[in-house]
Amino acid sequence: MAPLLFLLLLLVLLLAGSHGEVTTVKDLVVLEGRSATVPCHYDPQYARHVKYWCRGATWTFCSGLARTDQAPPADSTLSISDDPAQQVFTVTMVDLQEADSGWYWCGVEVGGMWNADDAASVYITVSHGMSVVNSMVAGEEGGSVSVECLYGSRHSGSSKKWCRSGDWGSCVEVSANGTLEQGSVRLRDDGAGALAVTVRGLARSDAGWYWCSTGQQQVQVHIAVTPRSSTQRSPTTSLPVVTSLPVDHKETSISVATSPVHIANQGQTLPSHIFESPLMICGALLLLVVVATVPSKMWCQYQRMRRRRHGRARELTLSPLPGSESDQSKAGVIFYSPSSPQQVHLL
């Protein structure tokens, strides 16, 4: 029993092969009447193998549509090409219709009775509505933005409109010749599935949601308006001035602008800060005056305080009384006043 189970497991592994060595995109949405290109990547070991493209819900029962070892019919709407150097083969389907929606397979023939082919699936949806290349666009204030709205082939004869979301009165419609210019909006319909919208002179109030429409189909677009760049160059005016030089005569160019003045003479540039030197000199002189005045004020203040202390010391002095040494225990008080000097002895 065990050998039978082992053989059965080995058979399943052989039939399964090395599935997963071919990869492609998972889902693809295409507008009706347009084309789709599908890249199918494979491992280096399959560089010389035959590749094919088939349609079906499962790989086992898919119907072959194209092979790399066979040329497609002249009226075929698809083509297949292989690039072994890049390890990818490409399938292109043109003029797709809604009936072309379904499962498709990229396959590589592995060969051999016991080896299954490697394959990868992709689901293609063909829509008859509208789509937009970029649903979120932004432009600088005062600039412009462009939007490309795509529509299916069945809407080639339908009216094309551009409206601001929530404001039906803002809608503008392409004229019979496929173009329209109204205010800041310009529309151009190429008649082959693309409506180009250009909004010029953007203002902050232009930011918001818009939509393209054809028939009953519509697609949303958001426009963002960024602030205008604040960096602007100052206008300049060049005045030719002829100067006389000792050796030869050369021309000096003076640039007059709202920015600091630059004078060019014989290829040399004179720094603009030299015009500030008078102000710097005045500031230096003022600083010197302050430095010279402060010590003088301090010296005068010191002299006044010194004379005041000296006068107070002379107002009140003590001196011994004249007489014998036995009388030295007695003291005298001398009062002195510069206006009327007096001396009083206290016994």
Which tens digit of pLDDT belongs to each residue from 192-233? 889 999 999 999 999 999 999 988 888 899 999 999 887 655
Measured CA to CA, the distance from residue 336 to residue 3 in angstroms comes to 143
Where does the pLDDT of residue 310 fall: very low under 50, low under 70, confident under 90, or very high at 90 and above? Answer: low
Each residue's pLDDT tens digit, 227-241: 988 765 544 444 444
Q: What is the pTM of this model?
A: 0.50
pLDDT of 65? 94
Beta carbons within 8 Å of 275's beta carbon, 6+ residues apart = 261
Measured CA to CA, the distance from residue 331 to residue 196 in angstroms comes to 123
pLDDT of 114? 65
Tokens for 9, please give them. Answer: 């497991």
The answer to whether 189 and 197 have CB atoms below 8 angstroms apart is: no
User: What CA–CA distances, in Å, run from 274 to 115, 173, 236, 266, 313?
Assistant: 89, 64, 21, 19, 60
Measured CA to CA, the distance from residue 106 to residue 59 in angstroms comes to 9
Average pLDDT, the chain: 76
Residue 52 has pLDDT above 80, yes or no: yes
Residue 198's DSSP bridge partners are 146, 186
DSSP-derived pairing of the beta strands 130-132 and 145-151: antiparallel
Beta carbons within 8 Å of 173's beta carbon, 6+ residues apart = 159, 160, 161, 180
The mean per-residue pLDDT over the stretch 61-66 comes to 92
C-alpha angle 103-109-111 in degrees, rounded to nearest 5: 140
Measured CA to CA, the distance from residue 235 to residue 28 in angstroms comes to 54
Measured CA to CA, the distance from residue 261 to residue 67 in angstroms comes to 75
The mean per-residue pLDDT over the stretch 163-191 comes to 89
Residue 261 has pLDDT above 60, yes or no: no
- DSSP code of residue 206: G
The answer to whether 172 and 257 have CB atoms below 8 angstroms apart is: no
Return the amino acid letter for 273. H
Q: Is the dihedral of CA 55, 59, 63, 66 positive or negative?
A: positive
Place of tokens 């092969």: 17
Residue 95's DSSP bridge partners are none
The mean per-residue pLDDT over the stretch 88-105 comes to 94
The answer to whether 71 and 167 have CB atoms below 8 angstroms apart is: no
Beta carbons within 8 Å of 252's beta carbon, 6+ residues apart = 241, 242, 243, 263, 264, 265, 266
pLDDT of 313? 53
Q: Where in 301-347 does DSSP place strands (E)?
A: 316-320, 331-335
The least confident of 17-26, 37-46, 177-186, 331-340 is 331-340
Where does the pLDDT of residue 26 fall: very low under 50, low under 70, confident under 90, or very high at 90 and above? Answer: confident
| % of the chain residues with pLDDT over 90 | 37
Q: Which domains does the chain have, with CATH numbers?
A: 17-127 (2.60.40.10), 130-226 (2.60.40.10)
Measured CA to CA, the distance from residue 83 to residue 90 in angstroms comes to 8
Measured CA to CA, the distance from residue 43 to residue 67 in angstroms comes to 18
